[in-house]
A and B are shown apart, each in its own frame.
Chain A
Amino acid sequence: MKKYILRRVIISIVTIWLIVTISFFLVHVLPGNPIAVNSGKILSTETLDKLTEYYGLDRPLSEQYLIYMKNLLHGNLGYSYKYAGQTVNGIIAKTFPVSAQLGLQAYLISIPLGFLFGIIAAKRRGKTVDYLLVGFSALGVSVPVFIVAALLQLIFAVELKWFPVSLWKGFSYTILPTLTLALGSIAGRTRSMRTLMLEIVNEDYVKTAKAKGLSKAVIVWRHQIKNAVIPMIPMMGMELVGILMGSFVVENIFAIPGIGSYFVTSVQALDYTMILGLTVFLGVFVVIANFIVDIIYGVIDPRIRVTK
């Protein structure tokens, strides 16, 4: 187990370093002076030089890299080119909690519902409930999130007026975006859980459990569900990324001031420090999330501890 964790730690650190380094150099070898691009107006050569110096862009690239890494170790991601005077940290501090709330709510809904639906569908295989759930999950993984968002908006906000159409000003505002985001994830999990449950029904150890005279409920609960959930744990990291990416769209449609909308704007506006800062931030976030998922997997599945 120690070896397993150590290996994961090393891989995670190397990954983070690679993300930072590659992103840094790619962003910095791009042609064009980012300041000129971002100011939005024509600057005099003098102002441009001053700003270039201010952002440290006149130094050699290797030096800039060292400075960036040093700042990064202190958790400092630099200044935005576009939003004058704002730090990337400041923007993250302002926007990330919004995205985190949205993502977390969606995640917390999708986990129990996805498992539950999958289990129900598998247990009622071939019955109406199963068909409904399979249909729902097939649709859920096929319909892009923006269509779901538009439909939910149209039905529940515009027509029924149950929830606000957009913006982010209180809990009722979070419901539609959360549902939108959760839906795809519920669908995907329902599908995987159903498949796994159906595979496990045929496992020999389920027969053993049955041969022991255990009741159906005990077999499902004690022997099937845990073994079906285990292979889904490593997928949870991936799913988090999916929710993160989905939140970009959802934030866009519902006009939510989250990190996703800033990320997209900064890419379109070529706000390099922002792109770099947000990429590094989100990259590290995902790597750490995956690391945690891997460790949980190792703890829950006794086989991992010895084999890897």
Chain B
Amino acid sequence: MEPLLNVEDLQVSFQTFAGEVAAVRGVSFQVNKGETLVIVGESGGGKSVSMQAIMGILPMPPARIKGGRITYKGEDILSKSDKEMEKYRGKEFAMIFQDSMTSLNPTMRVGRQMTEGIRKHQKVSAQTAKEIAIDMLRQVGLPNPDKIYKRYPHTLSGGQRQRVMIAIAISSKPSLLFADEPTTALDVTMQAQILDIMNQLKKDTGASILLVTHNLGIVAEMADRIAVIYAGQIVETASARELFFHPKHPYTWGLLGAMPGMETDKSTELYSIKGTPPDMFCPPIGCAFAPRCAYCMEACRKEAPEEYREENGHSTRCWLLDERAPKVEAPTAVIPKPLLNEEEVQ
């Protein structure tokens, strides 16, 4: 089956005062219809940049797409003009941003910010657009939607604003919803509610979701598949279950170890990632994770590893999977303990 979105070898770099920064260094992934793909990684890993590159909303310059192919419903969208992309943005794709405070125009009422997109894509009268907008506000669970409609963003709470963001994003029934750390700025209960709304939406409209986050924990129940990104490259991809129970890449182990709810466990001490992500002004020659990796080998410093693919779709970019490498098991501490028995979960 043709994936809804196919990204191949995407490369994005930024021209800065101090030189060129390779933010995305050959990222490939697919999003199938009705599927939720979660891209997870530390901040600065290139996940937001990849997403904005697909949406075509990266500020260029300083950003530049240096290579790769992005197809959506079989059409090459990288070669489309900005004008042509306007028909995709907001209609086919929609995006929920991380910080709802800065992502809403502070001097425009909520209603106007909603209707401008609705009117653009659905070609309806002002009155109808308003009705659609209020209906959307209701759908995302906001009480008194007609009051919210008239408010300015700064008079709303963080959770309310994020709901408004979602309402804006889904108002034209997109087939692919991008979400950039949609819950990071919110407290835990809000996080769960916002994720519920997104799941509900997926169920109702059959939309696909591409979500990026640095927090594996919150997405456990949302993700169909997970891609782990490090220093501008996808280092491991697998179905959510596979990734949680059979993680292969040491970086993934670190992320799993850092999951909330595991902090009381000894796992964090047993396995955590030290150091900081590499400086993208001068990307390392070998594996980008090698300097922070507890299982680093000579090979890792010499050459970047290939992708090792398994039949179940699990692919990993790590020398540890090479037949010549010593066999290393994932530290058991990073596997979700209460769920250690895989069969029990399903």
Contact = CB atoms under 8 A, between A and B. Distances in A.
A204 interface: yes
B97 A222 contact: no
Interface stretch (B34-42, B83-91, B197-205): B83-91
Contacts of B93: 211
Contacts of B116: 209, 212, 214, 218, 222
Most buried by B among A201, A211, A303: A211
A205 interface: yes
B89 A213 contact: yes
Contacts of B113: 208
Interface string B48-70: 00001001010100000000000
Most buried by A among B52, B85, B105, B152: B105
Interface string A296-307: 000011110010
Contact of A212 (B102, B117, B152): B117
B102 A213 contact: no
| Most chain B CB atoms below 10 A, which of A202, A213, A301 | A213
Given A203-B102, A204-B103, A208-B97, A302 B152 contact: yes
A207 B52 contact: yes
B120 A227 contact: no
A223 B105 CA distance: 7
B335 interface: no
A216 B97 contact: no
A114 B120 CA distance: 31
A302 B154 contact: yes
A70 interface: no
A223 B95 CA distance: 18
Given A204-B99, A208-B168, A213 B106 contact: no
Interface string A75-92: 000000000000000000
B173 interface: no
A210 interface: yes
A214 B117 contact: yes
B264 interface: no
Nearest to B62: A202
Contacts of B88: 213
**Looking at chain A's contact residues, is the secondary structure mostly helix, strand, loop, or mixed?**
helix
A223 B112 CA distance: 11
Contact of A230 (B57, B94, B107): B107
A62 interface: no
B342 interface: no
Contact of A301 (B55, B59, B107): B107
B107 A226 contact: yes
Given A213-B121, A214-B90, A302-B152, A205 B82 contact: no
A215 interface: yes
Nearest to B56: A210
B120 A205 contact: no
A212 B170 CA distance: 10
A223 B165 CA distance: 16
Interface residues of A, number: 26
Contacts, number: 86
B105 A212 contact: no
Contacts of A223: 105, 108
Contacts of A213: 85-91, 117, 120-121
B167 interface: no
Given A213-B87, A213-B88, A213-B117, A208 B103 contact: yes
A212 B85 CA distance: 11
Contact of B95 (A211, A222, A306): A211
A205 B104 contact: yes
B86 A202 contact: no
B106 to A, nearest CB: 6
Given A202-B59, A204-B99, A306 B154 contact: yes
Contacts of B87: 213
B144 interface: no
Given A212-B116, A213-B120, A214-B117, A205 B103 contact: yes
Interface of A: 201-205, 207-216, 218, 222-223, 226-227, 230, 300-303, 306
Given A204-B97, A211-B169, A222-B108, 5 more contacts: A201-B59, A204-B99, A208-B113, A212-B116, A213-B90
Give 7 closest A-B pairs by Cβ, nearest first. Answer: A213-B90, A212-B117, A213-B89, A212-B90, A204-B102, A204-B103, A211-B95
29 contacts: A203-B102, A204-B99, A204-B103, A207-B57, A207-B103, A208-B95, A208-B97, A208-B104, A208-B165, A209-B116, A211-B57, A211-B90, A211-B169, A212-B94, A212-B116, A212-B168, A213-B87, A213-B89, A213-B91, A213-B117, A213-B120, A214-B90, A214-B116, A216-B82, A222-B108, A223-B108, A226-B108, A301-B107, A303-B107
